[in-house]
Amino acid sequence: MRNNNEYGIGLKPIFDTVIFEIKKQRKKFYFFLGVAILIVFLVGYLLQLFPGYLLPDTQAGYFSGGLTFIEFLTLFSACLFFSGIICSEFDKKTGFIVFPKINKYKLILGKYLGNLILVVFIMAIYYFLLGLLGFFYYGGPINIRIFYSFGFAVLYVIALSSFVTLFSSFMKSVNVTIISTLLILLIGFTIADQIVTLIFADSFEPLYSIVYLGGLITSVLQNPFPDPRYAEVTMGPPGMGGGFTFGQWITPSIEMGIILLLVYIVVFFVLAAVLFKRRQL
Amino acid sequence: MLENRKNWKNILITLLLLSLLGISFLNVMSLGLAQSNNYDLKLTKGTTIFSVETYDEDAWFNTVSNSLNPSHWFGGDANITGAQSKITIKGWSYTEWGTFNVISSIVLPQEQLLILYALADYGYNNTEINEYYPNTYWLWNSLQAIWPFTSNNFDEKPNTTEQNIILKDPEDYRKILDDYNKLVAQIKNDSAVPLPIKNQISNITADDLLWKLALNTFAAAEPVGNYLLTVTDALETENITASSCSLIFNRTGLNNYTVEFAYGDRGTLTSVIVKDQIDNTIYYITSINSEWIFYMILAIAVAASIGIIVVLTLRSRKIKRA
């Protein structure tokens, strides 16, 4: 009985922090929720009002088209929600509070969980609306692969959040964390992937890139799964600037994608925890 | 001075009202005139599932034919009760076609298309046929993914993606039929065309054309009833009548029977009923559309969201008051 109570007392501060964080991030949440609903409406419904814009043959194809912007949405929401998790405490010097009511790890865990709940909820709404529209256009049953896609999206968000949390653990301000993580994730990884593909072509897969791993969210919807996963495209006829061939890695394999996302999550969180421990709050 | 101003104001208001009335009257008149020969497409993107509800095999073999079964008409497992097929309308375009395209897409069966292409070597290619028969047709060309009747679960991908033609003016069916039959006569009289090719093409009657169209996802424009009536009147069909939103084919196999193709508000097929001469249903295909389930789920989701927002608002107000 005593043990149960102790556990309860131990978890209560985390639970309270989660609730507090959810309330604190309310405006950001409403904004991203609005954006998510707007994207689904525009891509999934409004475009289909044009008779010349053809509906894909299959429900999975429709979902794949509707999820075009999910990677951007998750990326931006991860950067904006998780960037202040650790560095805001240093920025606001909460460590100087004389009577700390909560352990600093519990505080960070509560804040992280609160933000994660909000981001996953936004994505769940996105998937729910898209699934509903998929049902509207194609009837039931809903293709099972959209649930796999949602699973990957959640895993991807956790990986992105761990990456942002790592930056938050050593950066000084929230704004710098947001800008630097956005730059790295949006531009850095994309450029690096292209350079690596240009140099190594099909002999080296850019598995180091979280953004590349995020491609699994849409590629898991394809039936059959892309094979080969590396494709070369030739532009125009040969000669006079034509006949230019460039290669592209389409998607990581499912197994490798899951393993690497999990590895990244663990590594980034461990590094963030170590840095946070060494840094004086 | 003031009274003059008031009078001018009244005159201006009266003129404005009269001009507005005039414009709206002209609009109504033009709409009325246009509607007499104007049809609109009410097609929407989405999926319709067709299901074989009734199939009385003995009655079919005693009435329709003992060598044909419903799958010869509707394909796949259409001869199994409970079998389902699916059609997804992917989109459409409004376009103008010449005689060659219309004949190859509407009149000729798939297996005879090769003959049309073989005729190109004898002075009957796309351009030449369009020159001989210069009629043009405004039409909606809709693209649809088709899953044939199956008693198992549907494959993920459709079996075929086909185009479905809906003529803007239903009277054009007559012109197309006449042009086709004239073309057949011309080819038959052309000494340059080899006999094996001549033997493979033949005239087609209005009833046969409409029967072929009805079996191949024929669709109508809005108003559907008028459209169907105009088609049968223009084609002067002998054994086909249009009744409200249905085409009724009076056919004779081993005995007389009727086949009724019913079309919904959007002009697409909703059901097929085959009845014997004493009005017993031999075969019945019905359609299901999942749109109402979508609206139901959406309504529940919206109601739940509103409920949550109301509860949260009331709770926060209570807390603030306390």
In a domain, B148, yes or no: yes
Residues B119 and B199 both lie in one domain: yes
Distance between CA atoms of B241 and B238, rounded to whole angstroms?
8
Residues B22 and B97 both lie in one domain: no
The pLDDT value given to residue B29: 45
Number of domains into which chain B is organized: 2
pLDDT tens profile A257-268: 999 999 999 999
CB distance A60–B145 less than 8 Å?
Answer: no
Residues B271 and B182 both lie in one domain: yes
Residues of B in contact with A52 (CB under 8 A): 91-93
pLDDT tens profile B253-305: 999 999 999 999 889 999 999 999 899 999 999 998 878 888 888 899 889 98
In a domain, B22, yes or no: yes
CB-based contact, A143 to chain B, within 8 Å: yes
Whether the Cβ atoms of residue A86 and residue A165 lie closer than 8 Å to each other? yes
**B159: closest chain A residue by CA:** A57
- This complex has an ipTM of 0.80
**B290: closest chain A residue by CA:** A139
Whether the Cβ atoms of residue B285 and residue B53 lie closer than 8 Å to each other? yes
The per-residue pLDDT of chain B, averaged, comes to 87
Residues B17 and B59 both lie in one domain: no
Q: What kind and span of H or E run contains B319? A: helix B291-321
Looking at the predicted structure, is the pLDDT value of residue B238 above 70?
A: yes
Residues B26 and B93 both lie in one domain: no
Confidence of residue B12 (pLDDT cuts 50, 70, 90): low
Residues B78 and B137 both lie in one domain: yes
Whether the Cβ atoms of residue A12 and residue B54 lie closer than 8 Å to each other? no
Of B92, B145, B291, nearest to A57 by CB-CB distance is B145
CB-based contact, A57 to chain B, within 8 Å: yes
CB distance A132–B143 less than 8 Å?
Answer: no
Higher-scoring residue by pLDDT: B116, A42: A42
CB distance B90–A55 less than 8 Å?
Answer: yes
Residues B238 and B215 both lie in one domain: yes
Residues B26 and B165 both lie in one domain: no
Looking at the predicted structure, is the pLDDT value of residue B10 above 70?
A: no
Token pair for B172:
């054009």
Residues B5 and B77 both lie in one domain: no
Residues of B contacting chain A (CB within 8 angstroms): 43, 45-47, 49, 86, 88-94, 143, 145, 156-158, 161, 288-291, 293-294, 297-298, 301
The pLDDT value given to residue A88: 80
Length, in residues, of chain A = 281
In a domain, B317, yes or no: no
In a domain, B305, yes or no: no
Residue B4 lies in domain: 1-36
Please identify which residue in the block is written with the tokens 């994608």: A257
The set of residues, in sequence order, having a beta carbon less than 8 Å from that of A37 and lying 6+ positions away, is A125, A126, A129
Residues B205 and B243 both lie in one domain: yes
Residues B107 and B256 both lie in one domain: yes
pLDDT tens profile B137-194: 999 999 999 999 999 999 999 999 998 999 999 999 999 999 999 999 999 999 998 8
